[in-house]
């Protein structure tokens, strides 16, 4: 039996407070992600979902420290230097952030921002990298991609910026894609389009996906398995259908029960 793509076990994250004491943020998190599989990480705000994603990416803030195991393709990510993690981020693990405006450089065109990763990691010349960037923009369904590649982030809508974020994350065809609340700030129609793009491209490239969301509907649509978190702890994990229809943990039942029901006409109540 082949090793999983990602194995997280006994993961603890603490932050150091100004008085020198340490506060636990993640407590004994454990899960396995197979190659080509999809995992949803769900929980209310403050549950530690995004911090888990940052821990995997090696992007924890300086006041935070992690112990345990994060084994990616057999390598312990927690034992790697910042330089080593820089070669993994983007190349083997891609990430899509909740608000792409904070992740995009306002002083660079979106095409050059996509091309930069191709130049840095693959050694492409800028001319070839810019052509590839246009192709990637077309793949994420940005119309008139050659022209839009020359625009700046502030000249794009939120949905277009998120498409650029997806293109950047997928440019190097990483083995694992982490999407942190990628549709939260978007309207329902654009949200559906973004999820379609994610679903299509991760399947096409055979990527594994970790989707962080507070939206159970998004998780149900996109993920084979679901990890439920509360206050930095793993409450429940299993097949998404089982977790959402026959939850075992009381917190999961409360979380599902808090989702507004819809009347036949489609309005929430």
- Dist CA 189 CA 191 (whole Å): 5
Distance of CA 263 to the CA centre of its chain: 32
DSSP 8-class letter at 19:
T
Query: 16 near 10, Cβ under 8 Å?
Result: no
Tokens 């075992």 — which residue? Answer: 248
Q: What does the mean pLDDT of the chain come to?
A: 91
Handedness of CA 216, 219, 220, 221 (dihedral sign): positive
Q: Where are the alpha helices (DSSP H) in 58-98?
A: 82-88
- Dist CA 45 CA 233 (whole Å): 13
pLDDT digits (tens, 9 = 90+) for 93-141: 999 988 777 789 999 999 999 999 899 888 899 999 999 999 999 999 9
Set out the domains of the chain in order of their start, with CATH numbers.
6-257 (3.40.50.300)
Could you give the angle at the alpha carbon of 51 between the alpha carbons of 72 and 187, nearest 5°? 105
At 269 the pLDDT is 34
- Dist CA 196 CA 204 (whole Å): 12
Query: 175 near 73, Cβ under 8 Å?
Result: yes
Q: What is the pTM of this model?
A: 0.91
At 90 the pLDDT is 84
Whose CA is closest to 230, among 254, 210, 246, 211?
254
Does 264 score more than 50 pLDDT? no
At 14 the pLDDT is 96
Identify the bridge partners of residue 70 per DSSP, sorted by sequence position.
Answer: 8
Tokens 């277009």 — which residue? Answer: 160
> Tokens for 29?
């998190």
At 266 the pLDDT is 42
Tell me which range, 11-15, 43-47, 197-201, is most confidently predicted by mean pLDDT: 11-15
At 267 the pLDDT is 41
Pairing of strands 38-42, 208-213: parallel
């Amino acid at each position: 039996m082949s090793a999983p793509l990602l194995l997280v076990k006994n993961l603890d994250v603490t932050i150091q407070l100004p008085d020198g004491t340490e506060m636990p943020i993640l407590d004994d998190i454990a899960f396995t992600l197979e190659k080509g599989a999809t995992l949803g990480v769900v929980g209310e705000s403050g549950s530690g979902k995004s911090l888990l994603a940052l821990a995997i990416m090696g992007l924890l803030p300086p006041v935070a420290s992690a112990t345990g195991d994060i084994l990616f393709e057999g390598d312990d990510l927690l034992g790697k230097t910042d330089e080593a993690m820089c070669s993994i981020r983007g190349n083997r693990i891609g990430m899509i952030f909740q608000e792409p405006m904070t992740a995009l450089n306002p002083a660079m065109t979106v095409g050059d921002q996509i091309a930069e990763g191709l130049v840095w990691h693959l050694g492409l010349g800028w001319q070839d990298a810019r052509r590839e960037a246009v192709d990637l923009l077309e793949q994420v369904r940005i119309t008139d991609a050659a022209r839009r590649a020359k625009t700046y982030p502030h000249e794009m809508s939120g949905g277009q910026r998120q498409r650029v974020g997806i293109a950047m994350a997928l440019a190097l065809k990483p083995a694992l894609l982490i999407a942190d609340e990628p549709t939260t700030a978007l309207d329902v129609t654009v949200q559906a389009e973004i999820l379609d793009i994610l679903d299509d491209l991760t399947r096409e490239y055979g990527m594994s996906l970790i989707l962080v969301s507070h939206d159970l509907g998004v998780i149900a649509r996109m993920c084979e398995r679901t990890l439920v978190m509360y206050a930095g702890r793993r409450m429940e994990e299993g097949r998404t259908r089982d977790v959402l229809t026959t939850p075992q943990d009381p917190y999961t039942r409360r979380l599902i029960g808090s989702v507004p029901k819809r009347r036949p006409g489609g309005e929430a109540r």
